[in-house]
Amino acid sequence: MKRFSSNHSLPTLMAVALLGLFFSQCKPEAKKTEPEKAIVKTNETNIQVPDGFSVEILAQDLGNLRHMTVSSKGDIYVNRSKLKDGKGIIALKDIDKDGKIGETQVFGDLPGTGILFHKGYLYASSNSGIFRYKLNDEGQIIDTEKPEKIVDGLADHGRDNAKSFVMDNDSNIYVTVGSWNDSGREDGTGKAIVPSTILDSAGGIWKYDADKLNQTFSDGARYATGIKNAVATAWNFKTNSLFAAVHGRGGFHDLFPQYYTAKNSAELPAETLYEVHENDDAGWPHVYYDHFKKAKMLAPEFGGDGQKTGREDAIDPVMAFPAHLAPNDLLFYTGNMFPEKYKNGAFVAFHGQSPELKKGYFVAFVPFKGGKPSGDWEIFADNFAGIDLANPTGPVQHRPCGLAQGPDGALYVSDDLGGSVFKITH
């Protein structure tokens, strides 16, 4: 056994020990959380991507994964829409820097959707508000059991209640408050709620201060309205503006068969991508967008018949997608790993399926130039479903939900059905 030299007196050793204890207490340390296994059954996948790209499964069976964010060191944090083993957020860490998940931790007791790193904090949302965890100098959460509350009291009626959010360079939070009412009508009728009081607290995007604690709903400002449910939002730092991909309404044929066929209900309205500025109105519930007619159509609850246009004052989408694809996340690609055509373009994760296309559960790409779409959208990563949706022979396996970009330019995709995290590289 190694012994201390007699040259070191006991008082000196005690002083050194106390000094070490003092400095260790001054440095904030991340509070450890319960580990959870991220079992990868196989890295093989049938996801179809363009030539030159490859897809790897990093983790599986992690629950209902929603949005995710990646730290500058490559740690992946994902929010869950439902608690798994009592926890809502999962951290996947590449301890050995070998591209594999070496450690998995879970924390937080609120289910939610949004999650984002910003200026020394990890921000996350529940279904009624936003909170944050402070990080230490190594980028690890100091105390996972004591998040700070940023805002609470946002409308949560159980349907379309995901509070996705993004931030700009000025520490403003733009949070979606989706409408629990699909088309702004009275339950079980074809009669519209007039005036549409839903828009007072939902069906839009609200703006809050990311650095101010304990805000309530009334402390924010309605940034934009007439947006039924924009789960997929992103701040475009090239244009310094907000973009939102919006879930469209349904229920045409069931209550208005005199105007709409079952086929109309299956193929209308379009899912829409907007560039959103302060005080914009996208027109919901008064109008919907018809991608066949390329027009804003007056909703039947407000006197429409499938032919009448309406609300010229409402903003136009910059891109339209087939109905019922359910856009759930939006990401502007700024990395250098992918070919030049993808630079500053938008990836969109769809976790629904289109009766028109007989396809779904894919990640699409929209090329951008000069801050505007510069061509048609295309399917980038396909076959997450694992089956032929035109002739299904079994259950859907995966539904893309969240998107994130790694520090090396890799694209990550989360899955809210199979609980998987995919990594796409070039």
Strands 221-225 and 280-281: parallel
**For the segment 25-42, what is each residue's pLDDT rounded down to a tens digit?**
444 444 444 444 444 444
Mean pLDDT of the 311-338 span: 97
State both tokens at 103: 């450690």
CA–CA distance, 148 with 123 (Å, rounded to integer):
9
pLDDT at residue 358 in the model = 93
- What tens digit of pLDDT does each residue of 42-79 get? 455 789 999 999 999 999 999 999 999 999 989 999 99
Residue 7: pLDDT over 70? no
pLDDT digits (tens, 9 = 90+) for 347-403: 999 999 999 999 999 999 999 999 999 999 999 999 999 999 999 989 999 999 999
Mean pLDDT of 75-97: 94
Residue position matching structure tokens 């079952």:
262
Among 319, 410, 328, which Cα is nearest to 362's? Answer: 328
Q: Which residue in 347, 351, 327 sits closest to 335, CA to CA? A: 347
> Six-digit token pair at 200?
């007072």
Q: With contact defined as beta carbons under 8 Å apart, do 43 and 37 qualify?
A: no
The reported pTM is 0.89
pLDDT at 405: 98
Q: Is 396 exposed, middle or buried (0-12, 13-18, 19+ CB in 10 A)?
A: middle
| Domains of the chain as residue ranges with CATH | 34-425 (2.120.10.30)
Q: Which amino acid is at 201?
A: S
Distance, in Å, from the CA atom of 395 to the CA atom of 27, rounded to the nearest integer, reads 50
Range in 158-172, 189-203, 343-357 the model is least confident about: 189-203
The CA-atom distances, in angstroms, between 360 and each of 32, 67, 303, 350, 388 are: 39, 19, 32, 7, 10
For CA atoms 113, 117, 118, 122, give the dihedral sign.
positive
| Alpha carbon distance 412, 265 (integer Å) | 33
**Given this model, what pLDDT does residue 94 score?**
84
pLDDT above 50: residue 248? yes
| pLDDT score of 199 | 95
Q: pLDDT at position 81, please?
A: 97
* Of the candidates 177, 174, 157, the residue with the CA atom closest to the CA atom of residue 165: 174
Query: Is the pLDDT reported for residue 176 higher than 70?
Result: yes
91-113: b or e for each residue (b if 16 or more CB lie within 10 Å)? bbbbeeeeeebeebbbbbebbbb
